Amino acid sequence: MSTQALDALPKAQSPFLTFMSRLLDNRSFVIGATLFLFVVLLAVFADVITPYEPNANNFRARLQPPSAEHWFGTDHFGRDILTRVIYGGRLSLTIGIAVVIFTGVFGTLIGAAAGYFRRLDNIIMRFMDALMAFPSILLAITVAATLGASVPNVILALGIATTPHTARIVRASVLVVREMEYVEAARALGAGHARILFRHILANSLAPLIVRLTYVFASVILAEAVLSYLGVGPPPPAPTFGGIIANGRDFMVEAPWVTLFPGLIILFTVLGLNLLGDGLRDVLDPRIKV
């Protein structure tokens, strides 16, 4: 074949560009990423966007409806709801990221050990099953109430509640990948357990884990709001979604905006994460590719 004919052939696109093209072509991913990115930008630039302090009281402006001065209105202490919602998003996202790291690390290690080492599988997974016997939110409430209301305790409680499901998903992937031919070849060439597990098995088991962590992030946002609403989340006066809603439950008739706007922000955040996760699942799932 001549050089000119070779130049006329279409050039193969790199795997990264192909992956990004598939992501950008996925409507769920684009919408979800846009919603989530909007909330993240608000939280990151809260100091620049908001003209008020999140905990500054102004009793002369208490329970004012939405206006040009206070876009989301004020609460019973005269605090600006928009400011508190934005700062509450910063705290909720921080807790969400910390829990995702917690469950990603420990869930991966536990699931990988259970899936790869057969003698440990039954012991580890029976303990995970015992934790999964309790509803996640009930387990988180129990742990948080036992340890006390603080941000680290909320992260620990939600991390313990979400890790068993993550470990089970990782274990299922490891059970499949460890039987692949390239793993057998690495074992035959004398590769150690650590090299086989981390370089060959876990590296090819990340797709379901990544999708799982997006759903964990969304569930943590909701769970943190529940814990704060029940009084076992970050202690006042720290602004959180659940804490703002809890403060406005006695004024839902005369000042519905106190609970309405935090609820809408929770809705948009969780919806964005769920759509983002659906898009990642569609792109990363090889069965859907076929």
pLDDT digits (tens, 9 = 90+) for 139-167: 888 888 888 878 888 889 899 889 999 99
Nearest-angstrom CA–CA distance, 228 and 234 = 6
Q: Tell me whether the omega of the peptide bond preceding residue 152 falls within 30 degrees of 0, making it cis.
A: no
Q: What is the rounded average pLDDT of the residues 25-53?
A: 86
Report the 10 Å Cβ neighbour count for 21: 12
pLDDT interval class at 9 (50, 70, 90): very low
Write down the H helix ranges in 133-190: 136-147, 151-177, 181-188
Domain positions in the chain: 72-284
Of residues 23 and 173, which shows the higher confidence score? Answer: 173
43 CB contacts (<8 Å, ≥6 apart)?
Answer: 86, 87, 89, 90, 93
**Residues above pLDDT 90, as percent of the chain:** 6
Mean pLDDT of the region 27-56: 86
What Rg, from alpha-carbon coordinates, does the chain have? Answer: 24
- CA angle, 218 then 221 then 223, to 5°: 105
Of 5-9, 51-55, 168-172, 242-246, least confident by mean pLDDT is: 5-9
Determine the Cα–Cα distance for residues 123 and 183; give it in Å rounded to an integer: 24
Q: Which CATH class is domain 72-284?
A: mainly alpha
pLDDT tens-digit series, residues 55-92 = 888 888 788 888 888 888 888 888 888 888 888 888 88
Q: Supply the pLDDT for residue 290.
A: 41
Give the model's pLDDT for residue 4: 55
Rounded to a whole number of angstroms, the distance between the first and last alpha carbons of the chain is: 32
Residue 28 pLDDT more than 60? yes
The pair of three-digit structure tokens given for residue 46, joined into one six-digit string: 């809260």
- Closest-CA residue to 175 (of 208, 152, 143): 208
**Identity (one letter) of the amino acid at 228?**
S
Q: Which of 252, 224, 257, 253 is nearest to 239 (CA)?
A: 224
Lookup: tokens for 271: 């919806």
